[in-house]
Copies of this chain bind each other. A is one copy, B any other.
Amino acid sequence: MLDLINELWYLKRDIVSHDFDQALYRLAEEIPMQIHEYPTGQQCWTWQIPERWTCDEAYLDTLDGQRLLDYANHPLHVLSYSLPFEGIVSRAELLEHLHVHPSLPEAIPFVFKYYERDWGLCATQTLRDTLTQDQYRVVIRTRFEPGTLKVGEVVIPGDSPKTFMLVAHLCHPAMVNDDLTGVVVGIEVARALLSRPQRHYTYRLLILPETIGSVAYLSTHEHLIPDMVAGLFLEMLGNDSPHALQGSFFPESQVDHCLTRALRGLRPNSYADAYRTVINNDERQFNAPGVRVPMLSLSRVEPPGSPTRPYREYHSSLDTPAIVSAERLENSKEVVLGLLEAWENNLYVVNDFKGEVFASGYGIWIDYRTDPEGHRILFQVMEHCDGENTIADIALKLETSFQAVWQVASLLNSKGLVHFSRTPQPTSPLCRMR
């Protein structure tokens, strides 16, 4: 995954741009991908596809011709979707349009104004501190032209048309962790899913520009929405922070319980938090009114209260290949595959027994005198096998991991004591006056 990152990261991947397209075409060589195109001006629900944006040249000079800052040196030096501008400006006016990073004096910040437009440059705080002259010369040569916004889609068919959505965005120029890492992890996950002989769910991986890409895709694929039963947004998966799972708009949904309980089994040092409390991305469009797909988000984010949240180099020129590692990317891929494995296995457990199972007779007895915890989980899972609870439901009730429950349920299944079902099959004799 690092090779692809090294190859693509420095491209000027603005939301509708030449470099975005180049990056997407390159990814399409990695895996079978359909590329959807949406022309500038197309109405997508309440949105419109913006123009293709190009910056030919941009710099800041002193009046005596000294070059202080040049787009040729770094793509972040120009506000993404900056208006063109050329002229002599006072120091005060310049500073209104010169963006710096709030806490990293040596970093160029990533700033964008896609819709509330303005001209702007971005610089290090260090450079800005040297600006003591009265006037400066600004040149920003940008073009707004008709183009097409592009969304890459990898479809991994399953036995069921019910679909799990995977989404990552490719759009931030010259940055890596946010969110080229989500893109390459997504592609590796898709490759692994494709290599399997069978899947219950259909999976769709979308590679797109943030927000507008999701709106463009959803608004032109409304017929698919009823089948989108769940989803996961992937972002910031290579840095050195713990995995964080952000819940969907539906905290009581099966997918929320399933993935949360599964992450607990996969990465005990990870954490989970509520919708909109970790990081905001395309999952907002999927959870939104009229769509209502419960989509969670997986990322590596510093814990709540950390001063560097989400991570120190976020939205800056310091978000380079240096802050991600192959090992952490691989680790994130394993987490995603582990979450999806749980999702595939999140079945109702239907008892083919009545009463408690004669554990000794089936060779599954665990002596409470020698392994009280093993004994406890065996019997507690067993007593919840009634065709009314999924694996995730049981894990939630027992306050344990998805995997701990799955292990016992699989054992019971291997002994012919339970079977699995995608729908509830209650086995209680009667609904009584409870």
Contact = CB atoms under 8 A, between A and B. Distances in A.
A284 B222 CA distance: 50
Contact of A292 (B255, B361, B429): B429
A46 B355 contact: yes
Interface stretch (A34-42, A63-71, A165-173, A212-220): A212-220
Nearest to A387: B289
A148 B399 CA distance: 42
Nearest to A346: B433
B358 A48 contact: yes
Nearest to A275: B383
Contact of A218 (B226, B229, B253, B355): B355
A355 B214 contact: yes
Contacts of A432: 229, 253, 294
A116 B361 CA distance: 9
Interface residues of A, number: 58
Given A116-B360, A429-B226, A289 B354 contact: yes
Contact of A285 (B284, B291, B355, B417): B355
A250 B434 contact: yes
B361 A115 contact: yes
B45 A289 contact: no
Interface string A255-295: 10000000000000000000010000000110111111010
A246 to B, nearest CB: 14
A290 B427 contact: yes
Interface of A: 45-48, 115-116, 211, 214-215, 218-219, 222, 225-226, 229, 249-250, 252-255, 276, 284-285, 287-292, 294, 351, 353-358, 360-362, 365, 367, 379-380, 382-386, 417, 427-430, 432-434
